[in-house]
Amino acid sequence: MRHIHIIGIGTGNPEHLTVQAINAMNGADVVFIPTKGADKADLADIRRDICERYLNRKDVRIIEFEVPKRAGQNRSYMESVDDWHAAIARIYEGLIGGLPEAGSGAFLVWGDPSLYDSTIRIIERVRDAGTCAFAYSVVPGITSIQALAASHRIPVNLVGKPVEITTGRRLAQTGLTHETTVVMLDGEQAFSKIDDPDAEIFWGAYLGTKDEVIRSGRLGDIAGDIARLRAEERARHGWIMDIYLLRKGRDFED
């Protein structure tokens, strides 16, 4: 039976790969690399660099495929994501179906496959369709949360307190509801709309890469600076991946 490896590769630093991830890559017949157009060519280049560094089997093939863009016009967020996943699933179906019956393939997933990534969901769609039989396994990777905390040299949680992981869209709707909130996928810069200026923010973009930038401080003091820096970096690169942690309170406070 065909086998698919879903491999977390960290946030852009090739040294983020675990030994388990490297072994899984070398156990595959094919490594699939997604491309997202010229503006995001860096993301494919990092995956190519990882393959060049760590693939020690000369017979492992690399197949690149273009990821369709998500269409959001005239539909809800959930509808647009569902349609987008269906389009990607059709591509995955062709890639997996092209493997020999006992062959194996590897998808290289940014960060960790469990955290705001839909590769596992899409693979399940393909398997549920029943057009090609395969099994799959998941290899964890370093998350952007871990990379952010390491770059800022902070623990993620306050002592004995919970941590919320959410999106910018949700944060804009709910505001800060926990002592520590990690925010991902924030295209609208929801941190600038939080009415809690004394909260601390720990922000980072392009974590793990040579272009990494981080900022931290009192939200009321630096929210505007982060928004300007984010716009500048996005204009310079043509894309941005950023994440931040919002914190209110201190260790050992009730």
**Quick one: 133 and 157 in the same domain?**
no
**Quick one: 100 and 216 in the same domain?**
no
* Environment class of 18 (CB within 10 Å of its CB; exposed 0-12, middle 13-18, buried 19+): middle
Number of structural domains in the chain: 2
**Quick one: 134 and 164 in the same domain?**
no
The residue behind tokens 């693939």 is 55
Q: Who wins on pLDDT, 233 or 69?
A: 233
Compute how many other C-beta atoms are within 10 angstroms of the C-beta atom of residue 231. 12
User: 170 phi and psi, to 5 degrees?
Assistant: -70, -40
Where in the sequence is the domain holding 37, given as residue range(s)? 2-139
Q: What residues contact 248, with CB distance under 8 A and at least 6 apart?
A: 176, 179, 196, 198, 199, 200
pLDDT single digits (tens) 156-200: 999 999 999 999 999 999 999 999 999 999 988 999 999 898 899
Question: How many CA atoms lie less than 13 Å away from 231 in the CB half-sphere?
Answer: 7
Handedness of CA 114, 115, 117, 121 (dihedral sign): positive
pLDDT single digits (tens) 61-114: 999 999 988 876 777 888 888 899 999 999 999 999 999 999 999 999 999 999
Q: What is the mean pLDDT of residues 199-225?
A: 96
C-alpha 8/C-alpha 108 separation (Å) is 6
In a domain, residue 252? The reply is: no
In a domain, residue 61? The reply is: yes
- In the predicted structure, residue 151 carries a pLDDT above the cut 90: yes
What average pLDDT is seen over the chain?
A: 94
Give me the numbers of helices (H) and strands (E) for the chain, helices first please: 7, 10
- In the predicted structure, residue 40 carries a pLDDT above the cut 90: no
Confidence tier at 128 by pLDDT (50, 70, 90): very high
What pLDDT is attached to residue 211? 94
Of the three residues 83, 107, 139, the one that is the final residue of a domain is 139
C-alpha 178/C-alpha 176 separation (Å) is 6
In a domain, residue 215? The reply is: yes
- In the predicted structure, residue 146 carries a pLDDT above the cut 80: yes
- In the predicted structure, residue 54 carries a pLDDT above the cut 80: yes
Looking up residue 211, the CATH number of its domain turns out to be 3.30.950.10
**Quick one: 160 and 98 in the same domain?**
no
**Quick one: 127 and 153 in the same domain?**
no
Handedness of CA 104, 110, 116, 118 (dihedral sign): negative
What pLDDT is attached to residue 161? 95
- In the predicted structure, residue 37 carries a pLDDT above the cut 90: no
In a domain, residue 253? The reply is: no
**Quick one: 129 and 55 in the same domain?**
yes
What pLDDT is attached to residue 232? 97
Confidence tier at 42 by pLDDT (50, 70, 90): confident
Looking up residue 105, the CATH number of its domain turns out to be 3.40.1010.10
C-alpha 122/C-alpha 82 separation (Å) is 10
**Quick one: 96 and 218 in the same domain?**
no
**Quick one: 116 and 150 in the same domain?**
no
